[in-house]
């Protein structure tokens, strides 16, 4: 049996509760040897794990050291959720520092999302049981969006918030949506629920400032909504990657 | 601590035959206040659900109600109804976790039913329970997703009402799915009651002396959505009420030693203040209105009956959700009112699964959050947690038990409160130093 662990760092436990709600969870309980999962079990052995799912961002040396030790021992580290993959919403804190898992170790795979999309989470958990490869989609949210055929960059963006069910692409209605630069996999769940994408799956090439710059270079953004940084960088710090 | 939400620890000081001090430590700081201050008001409901992965709907509702209070708008009845349904889904999901994954393993362990104290141990002994838990959990997530948009962000619940109504197809499917869970929860209730009878002597240690209850449960409409009046039932049974806008005057915060969280005391008596929020308090509030529930009054305030009360609330949530969907829900697209935040102060109260959740916001002249005060139920329960742990450990010590045995019982006592550490550590870390 594969020895599996579920670790919680600085987080809300939302990704772990998504695991409990996954269709594959009952199978996981019986087909894997769960060595650590604080939310549901007293057994806490972090030694000799084959796979560890990590939820939350890193805020202290102890967590960073634990990740490095597991990685050195050959444990496959899987970053789960926007906090572990991108830093998450706590990245906006002016008072504390939070880092994603990949700042300290090279994860075997990553699944962002707040929460991680149900279908992809099921595939990821399955990969831990049967050793199959897990891959993220290499397309953007528009690829899954029912309104993508109406997309245009010609309309002036005048709002950061929607107040009604969209009849067409949010960008056509003058509402900012990060779908064009955000990785697919969520099946455009928020957009189908009348809420524009705020980028919880992260950007496709990993370079958020560049993706934001590209998007805003083609959008016509109204003078009235210049303060869009909270939306653009909700899940990730705008760290510039400069080449020397 | 294991089998609770979040990262916490009990730090106990024992001097010979006395437990001299208990600290319920929650060491991980989560600076939500720092993240929120300065944000646009309309972004507040998008941020606060991330405080907690098990009660995001309650946080979202707390935020939108506070914004609506600041803007002095009333939402359409169907919007309030769908918000209540989303909360009922959250009650089912959270209590299912607490009962099946947290407290049932303890009670089955005490009755020698299992050797491994977790859901796997339960499944090996009583295989009927895990499928019931999974069915309830999935049904709850379907209810939350249909009414609130999704399980973690609840994006359908917006200031002014809702983004969209549910459809007749969704209504029918929800009713069908809710009906399908009823037999399982009724069976669990009987089984849980039987287990409690088996350990009647053991659970006497877990009676909380003279608790004071706090609740905003709407006892007229029977809704967790809550009222603006907070009900306070003191140790002598007398009742008083205060407006949620005034909560900072009645509920005093004090830093918890060595932790980025706080204990909340009722202002009347700070020294010995075992305030209790959650299922016990909601039942107490209901019992002050009715003579029908006197039978179960004897269960209060024994903490080991919390699990049974949670099962009661799951059953109530299922039957009430069916009733609301069948008789009160209406079709239509008139689900919100226009709202434009302006300089003002807003406050709200809502019953989260663990108890009363309070919000107070200050909005500045450019429509941004100037200040925010969020009081969560685990902070309300914090003084009672330390008090009961000390009482249980002292009783076990008197019986001559080993340290390991005593600590195990102390952890069981904490789990009875179903503490939510993510909620309790949301506080502003700037005040820590």
Residue finishing a domain among A108, A130, A152: A130
One domain, residues A126 and A211: no
pLDDT of B210 reads 79
Tell me if B120 and A41 make a contact (CB, 8 A cut-off): yes
Spell out the domains of chain B, with CATH numbers in brackets. 9-431 (1.10.645.10)
Coil, helix or strand at residue B403 = helix
Within-domain flag for A7: yes
The ipTM assigned to this model is: 0.94
Within-domain flag for A109: yes
Within-domain flag for A135: no
pLDDT of B297 reads 47
* Average pLDDT of the segment spanning B292-319: 79
Q: Does position B431 have pLDDT exceeding 60, yes or no?
A: no
**Taking a C-beta distance cutoff of 8 angstroms, is the pair B389, B410 a contact?**
yes
pLDDT of B291 reads 57
One domain, residues A15 and A111: yes
Between A242 and B61, the more confident residue is: B61
End-to-end CA distance of chain B: 26
Q: Does position B268 have pLDDT exceeding 80, yes or no?
A: no
pLDDT band for position B144 (50/70/90)? very high
Domain count, chain A: 2
Mean pLDDT computed over every residue of chain B = 90
B103: closest chain A residue by CA: A40
One domain, residues A111 and A172: no
Q: What percent of chain B lies above the pLDDT cut of 90?
A: 67
Picking from B177, B193, B224, the residue whose alpha carbon sits closest to that of residue B61 is B224
In tens, the pLDDT along B406-420 reads 999 999 999 999 999
Tell me if A160 and B130 make a contact (CB, 8 A cut-off): no
Angstroms from A98 CA to nearest CA on chain B: 10
CATH number at residue A109: 3.40.50.700
Between B145 and B296, the more confident residue is: B145
**Taking a C-beta distance cutoff of 8 angstroms, is the pair B25, B8 a contact?**
yes
What gap in Å lies between CA A14 and CA B420, rounded to an integer?
12
Within-domain flag for A242: no
One domain, residues A89 and A171: no
Residues of chain A where predicted confidence (pLDDT) is lower than 70: 226, 240-244
CA angle A11, B419, B296 (to 5 degrees): 150
pLDDT of B269 reads 55
What gap in Å lies between CA A176 and CA A159, rounded to an integer?
6
Tell me if B160 and A163 make a contact (CB, 8 A cut-off): yes
Block residue for tokens 């005048």: A158
pLDDT band for position B11 (50/70/90)? confident
Within-domain flag for A243: no
One domain, residues A126 and A56: yes
What gap in Å lies between CA B274 and CA B265, rounded to an integer?
8
Coil, helix or strand at residue B23 = strand
Chain A from 213 to 242: CB within 8 A of any B CB: 227, 230-231, 234
One domain, residues A113 and A165: no
Angstroms from A218 CA to nearest CA on chain B: 25
Within-domain flag for A95: yes
A186: closest chain B residue by CA: B150
Tell me if B155 and A42 make a contact (CB, 8 A cut-off): no
Residue finishing a domain among A76, A111, A130: A130
Within-domain flag for A94: yes
Chain A contact set for B142 (CB, 8 A): none
Q: Which domain holds residue A91?
A: 3-130
Q: Does position B88 have pLDDT exceeding 50, yes or no?
A: yes
pLDDT of B267 reads 67
Q: How many A-B residue pairs are in contact by the CB < 8 A criterion? A: 144
Chain A contact set for B369 (CB, 8 A): none
What gap in Å lies between CA A158 and CA B237, rounded to an integer?
55
pLDDT of B172 reads 98
pLDDT of B428 reads 64
Q: Does position B272 have pLDDT exceeding 70, yes or no?
A: no
In tens, the pLDDT along A47-59 reads 889 999 999 999 9
Chain B contact set for A195 (CB, 8 A): 149, 155-156, 163
One domain, residues A166 and A107: no
Chain A contact set for B5 (CB, 8 A): 13, 39
Angstroms from A117 CA to nearest CA on chain B: 11
One domain, residues A121 and A150: no
One domain, residues A98 and A13: yes
- What are the φ and ψ backbone dihedral angles of A111, each rounded to 5 degrees? -135, 105
- Whether A14 and chain B come into contact, CB under 8 Å, resolves to yes
| Both structure tokens of B423 | 């909620």
One domain, residues A122 and A145: no
Chain B contact set for A54 (CB, 8 A): none
Q: Does position B280 have pLDDT exceeding 80, yes or no?
A: yes
Tell me if B53 and A12 make a contact (CB, 8 A cut-off): yes
Within-domain flag for A239: no
One domain, residues A48 and A27: yes
Q: What percent of chain B lies above the pLDDT cut of 70?
A: 93
Coil, helix or strand at residue A213 = helix
pLDDT band for position B378 (50/70/90)? very high
What gap in Å lies between CA B117 and CA B387, rounded to an integer?
25
Residue finishing a domain among A99, A130, A161: A130
In tens, the pLDDT along B197-253 reads 998 888 888 888 878 899 999 999 999 999 999 999 887 778 889 999 998 888 888
In tens, the pLDDT along B89-114 reads 999 999 999 999 999 999 999 988 88
pLDDT of B202 reads 84
Chain A contact set for B29 (CB, 8 A): 59, 96
Q: Which strand (E) or helix (H) includes residue B13?
A: strand B9-15
Q: Which of B29, B39, B54 sits opposite A230 (nearest CB)?
A: B39
One domain, residues A156 and A194: yes
Other CB atoms within a 10 A radius of the CB of residue A206 amount to 14
Tell me if B31 and A96 make a contact (CB, 8 A cut-off): yes
Q: Does position B294 have pLDDT exceeding 50, yes or no?
A: no
pLDDT of B300 reads 64
């Amino acid at each position: 049996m594969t020895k599996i662990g579920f670790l919680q760092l600085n987080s809300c436990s939302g990704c772990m509760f998504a695991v409990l709600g996954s269709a594959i969870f009952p199978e996981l309980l019986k087909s894997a040897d769960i060595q650590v999962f604080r939310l549901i079990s007293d057994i806490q052995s972090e030694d000799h794990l084959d796979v560890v799912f990590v939820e939350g961002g890193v805020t202290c040396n102890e967590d960073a050291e634990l990740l490095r030790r597991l990685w050195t021992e050959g444990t496959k580290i899987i970053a789960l959720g926007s906090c572990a993959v991108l830093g998450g919403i706590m990245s906006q804190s002016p008072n504390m520092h939070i880092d994603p898992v990949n700042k300290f170790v090279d994860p075997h795979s990553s699944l962002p999302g707040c929460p991680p999309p149900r279908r992809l989470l099921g595939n990821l958990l399955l990969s831990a049981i049967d050793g199959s490869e897990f891959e993220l989609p290499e397309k953007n949210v528009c690829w899954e969006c029912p309104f993508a055929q109406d997309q245009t960059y010609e309309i002036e963006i005048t709002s950061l918030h929607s107040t009604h069910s969209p009849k067409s692409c949010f960008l056509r209605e003058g509402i900012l949506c990060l779908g064009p630069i955000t990785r697919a996999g969520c099946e455009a769940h928020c957009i189908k629920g009348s809420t524009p994408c705020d980028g919880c799956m992260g950007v496709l090439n990993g370079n958020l400032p560049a993706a934001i710059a590209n998007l805003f270079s083609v959008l016509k953004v109204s003078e009235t909504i210049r303060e869009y940084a909270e939306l653009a960088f909700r899940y990730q710090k705008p760290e510039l990657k400069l080449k020397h | 601590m294991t089998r609770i939400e979040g990262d916490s620890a009990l730090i106990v000081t024992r001097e010979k035959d006395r437990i001299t001090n208990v600290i319920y430590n929650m060491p991980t700081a989560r600076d939500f206040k720092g993240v929120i201050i300065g944000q646009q008001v309309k972004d507040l409901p998008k941020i606060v659900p991330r405080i907690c992965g098990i009660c995001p709907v309650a946080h979202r509702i707390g935020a939108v109600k506070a914004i609506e209070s600041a803007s002095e708008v009333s939402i359409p009845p169907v919007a309030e109804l769908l918000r209540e349904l989303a909360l009922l889904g959250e009650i089912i999901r959270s209590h299912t976790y607490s009962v099946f994954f947290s407290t049932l393993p303890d009670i089955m362990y005490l009755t020698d039913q299992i050797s491994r104290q977790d859901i796997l141990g339960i499944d090996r002994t009583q295989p009927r329970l895990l499928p019931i838990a999974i069915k309830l959990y999935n049904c709850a997530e379907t209810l939350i997703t249909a009414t609130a948009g999704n399980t973690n962000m609840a994006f359908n619940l917006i200031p002014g009402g809702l983004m969209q109504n549910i459809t007749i197809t969704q209504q029918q499917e929800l009713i069908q799915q809710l009906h399908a869970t009823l037999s399982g929860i009724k069976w669990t209730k009987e089984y849980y009651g039987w287990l409690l009878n088996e350990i009647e002597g053991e659970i006497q240690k877990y009676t909380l002396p003279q608790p004071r209850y706090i609740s905003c449960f709407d006892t007229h409409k029977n809704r967790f959505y809550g009222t603006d009046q907070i009900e306070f039932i003191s140790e002598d049974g007398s009742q008083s009420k205060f407006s949620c806008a005034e909560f900072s005057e009645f509920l005093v915060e004090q830093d918890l030693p060595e932790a980025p969280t706080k204990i909340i005391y009722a202002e009347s008596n700070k020294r010995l203040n075992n305030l209790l929020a959650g299922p016990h308090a909601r039942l107490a509030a209901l019992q002050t209105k009715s003579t029908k529930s006197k039978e179960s009054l004897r269960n209060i305030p024994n903490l080991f009956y919390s699990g049974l009360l949670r099962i009661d609330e799951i059953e109530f949530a299922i039957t009430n959700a069916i009733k609301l969907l069948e008789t009160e829900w209406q079709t239509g697209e008139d689900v919100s009112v226009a709202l434009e935040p302006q300089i003002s102060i807003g406050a709200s109260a809502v019953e989260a699964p663990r108890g009363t959740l309070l919000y107070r916001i200050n909005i500045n002249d450019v429509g941004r959050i100037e200040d925010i005060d969020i009081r969560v139920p685990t902070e309300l329960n914090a003084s009672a947690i330390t008090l009961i742990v000390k009482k249980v450990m002292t009783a076990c010590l008197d019986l001559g038990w080993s340290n390991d045995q005593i600590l195990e019982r102390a952890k069981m006592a904490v789990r009875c409160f179903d503490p939510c550490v993510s909620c309790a550590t949301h506080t502003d870390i700037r005040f820590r130093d």
